[in-house]
Copies of this chain bind each other. A is one copy, B any other.
Amino acid sequence: MINTAEPMLVFMTDFGTRETSVAAMHGVVKSVDRRIEIIEATHELPPFDIWTASFRLNQMLRFWPEGTVFVAVVDPGVGTFRRACVARTADGYYITTPDNGSLTHVWKEHGIAEVREIDETVNRLRGRDTEETSVFHGRDLFGFCAAKLASGKITYEEVGPAYDPGKIVLLDIPAPVYEDQGAQGIIEIDDPNFGNLFTNISARELLKRGFHYGETVHVEIFQNEQKKLDLHLPFVAAFGMAAKGEPLLYNNELMHVSLACAQGNFAGRYKIGFGRDWKVKLSRE
């Protein structure tokens, strides 16, 4: 249930914060209902990067109260054909977003119970002398519609017509493979602030297979099948278990095996990227 008595919107975009288009979007929200509390998750997603948008949405979702309404806009196809939608997850979150792959991780980890295409004839901003522009749906469509939904000006049904959640656009995310003495997966995402790298390999699955903190793990990283890195790293529970600057393997904030340098920058030091093309193999010594 959306708490329309204390309305709140959580925004995540690639719009940047160095100019005032995000502020224009927020002005629209406040014009719909002054009470709506605006939370900035981030506006600094890498431009046009739907993969990262999908990961980041899922990274934060479970920590918010049930019924929270999100606006997640990385939208290189704005103004062309892609559905603008509000998805309802199986556990009761609402996500206003272009249906362009941004729902992939949430679809996989939370499940989508229902999805509705935003009806532009009623849920799009009018006036302000900008009706003929087609390049800022964050302001004119997603933000505006989400504000109406969060504040109870429209019901979820009034967003627009439902469509088959099975038709939601999904990115291809390879599943990790677990073996007796190791696992294979991908470098799924980076931590752009600290330079840590998150794999899609579950720390619990490794621990179940007998891996334990303190042991050394053989880590191989490949880009398009070409080996880029071959290291033997300590598997630790916290960064401070390794000497300053040393590379390590750890259990990250989402319980995934990850790579870091203690008080350093792993991605920068070893020039490792992320995505489907970056494979990682972990083996016990």
Contact = CB atoms under 8 A, between A and B. Distances in A.
B129 A255 contact: yes
A113 B43 CA distance: 35
A78 B135 contact: no
Chain copies in the assembled complex: 3
A133 B255 contact: yes
Interface in A246-273: 250-255, 262-263
Interface in A63-97: 63-65, 68, 76-80
Nearest to A213: B134
A170 interface: no
Contacts of A262: 76
A76 B264 CA distance: 10
A19 to B, nearest CB: 6
A253 B76 contact: no
Given A63-B31, A78-B239, A17 B42 contact: yes
Interface residues of A, number: 78
Contacts of A39: 23, 26, 30, 38
A22 B136 CA distance: 26
Given A31-B65, A59-B19, A76-B239, A133 B24 contact: no
B34 A65 contact: yes
19 contacts: A3-B34, A6-B35, A12-B20, A14-B193, A16-B192, A16-B193, A18-B42, A19-B42, A19-B189, A23-B63, A28-B63, A30-B64, A34-B65, A37-B37, A47-B193, A47-B263, A79-B238, A80-B241, A134-B251
